[in-house]
Amino acid sequence: MILTLGEFELEPLSLIYWIKACLGILVAVICVLFWVNNIFTGVGIGALTYIVSDKILRQLFIDKVDKPFTVTKTGIGIYILTWIFFWALIFTLLNRPV
């Protein structure tokens, strides 16, 4: 099944991948807005957000994928990479030494 968004056509797993990539950026912004500078708190926010988004995405894509676990596996790497990269980037840009 191909999902059409305007002129873009995405497979369900590709859409899940890009949703999780954008979610990683959103979580990074949330970590910066709350001035999270402790890695354990940041990991907690990231894990909680991933778990909640996984539950929502499973409900949305349950009939479009082979197994529900496929939704969980798809995009976990890009979620973690974008979250850590953008958290470090934004935090560094906002807290430059004088």
**Is the confidence at residue 4, as pLDDT, over 90?**
no
Average pLDDT for residues 2-20, to the nearest whole number? Answer: 80
CA angle centred on 46, ends 44 and 48, rounded to 5°: 65
Q: Which residue has the tokens 């840009």?
A: 93
Q: Are 75 and 19 in contact (CB under 8 A)?
A: yes
- pLDDT at position 46 is 96
User: Residue 16: phi, psi to the nearest 5?
Assistant: -60, -40
Q: Check residues 8 and 47 and name the one with the higher pLDDT.
A: 47
Q: Check residues 56 and 37 and name the one with the higher pLDDT.
A: 56
pLDDT in tens, 59-73: 999 888 888 899 999
- pLDDT at position 41 is 95
